[in-house]
Amino acid sequence: MSKATDGTLVAAVIQMRSGRDVAANIDAATQLIRQAAADGATYVQTPEMTNLLERSREDLFVKIRTEREDPSVAVFAALAAELQIVLHVGSLAIRTGADKAANRGFLFGTDGALLARYDKIHMFDVDLANGESWRESATYQPGDEARVVQAAGTLIGLGICYDIRFPALFRAQAGAGARVLTAPAAFTRQTGEAHWHVLQRARAIENGAFVVSAAQGGRHEDGRETYGHSLIVAPWGEVIAEIDNDAPGYALAELDLAKADEARRRIPAIANQREFSLAGLRDTEAAE
């Protein structure tokens, strides 16, 4: 695929099966990023927890480092500069204190400079069928700041995984001008099978934006299963690139950014949005 022309970018989603060895995960990501860049990608995104998937809290804190000390941050910054791509590391597990961490995404520019970091806002604290249970907030400190960043010739909104279930986050980013929205993920298999595609497509349709979401896939060393199916969705809701399985790999699509503007003209949902109040049952009864 050729390099992007004016008003377009070539986006790639990197699908991984990260394990418990940080160095091995960095190497696996690096190989796929190089392949995607060689295939013409100008914006490359890796999944949530690129550097480590470790369910044991004790083992996690043995392996993770602060942002300054984390080896993957330096590797990926240098790789972005070498390949002259915008590199979006979906997230890394980053130590922020003795017993707390951040689920933190990084966006590096074509010169390797850090353009933005984003700490996942919504924590995956859920109890699923068949006894599967997650308490992300027991380990990770949630962020409280949404991010929209100028990169790759457009505004990009940063999100991570469970954030995709919170439409207000993406509507705020689209309202600020973002034409590309992101939700790199490590979606569980059972929630992915049920909801992954419809959530990605819904965020694209309601915001008239591209949605780019790299994913973890398969059975990991810590025992979890993730869904894979890394996606790129166009503003009208059609899937324009997908890894239709849970194996490591990459997929590319050329994003014609004018399609976001066109979708917003056809269905001006952002412009038509109005503030409203919510009346309670007692208020309604009183009015009657």
Segment 90-142, tens digit of pLDDT: 999 999 998 999 999 999 999 999 999 999 999 998 898 888 888 999 999 99
pTM of the model: 0.94
215 pLDDT above the threshold of 80:
yes
The CATH code of domain 9-271 reads: 3.60.110.10
145 pLDDT above the threshold of 50:
yes
Amino acid at 264: R
pLDDT of residue 125: 87
Angle at 24 between CA 21 and CA 30, to 5 degrees: 140
Tell me phi and psi for residue 90, to 5 degrees: -50, -50
The question of whether 254 is a catalytic residue gets the answer no
Catalytic residue of the set 54, 69, 161, 225: 161
pLDDT of residue 2: 46
Catalytic residue of the set 54, 120, 242, 254: 120
pLDDT of residue 126: 86
The SS3 of residue 119 is strand
282 pLDDT above the threshold of 90:
no
* Average pLDDT score over residue span 233-257: 98
Amino acid at 10: V
Helix boundaries (H) for 140-235: 167-175, 189-207
* Average pLDDT score over residue span 237-246: 98
Are the C-beta atoms of residues 72 and 26 closer than 8 Å to each other?
A: yes
- The residue ranges of every structural domain in the chain are 9-271
Which residues, in sequence order, are CB contacts of 49 under 8 Å at separation 6+?
A: 18, 90, 91, 92, 93, 103, 186, 216
Are the C-beta atoms of residues 88 and 43 closer than 8 Å to each other?
A: yes
pLDDT of residue 132: 83
E-assigned strand segments in 72-191: 86-95, 101-108, 114-119, 125-127, 133-135, 147-151, 154-158, 180-182
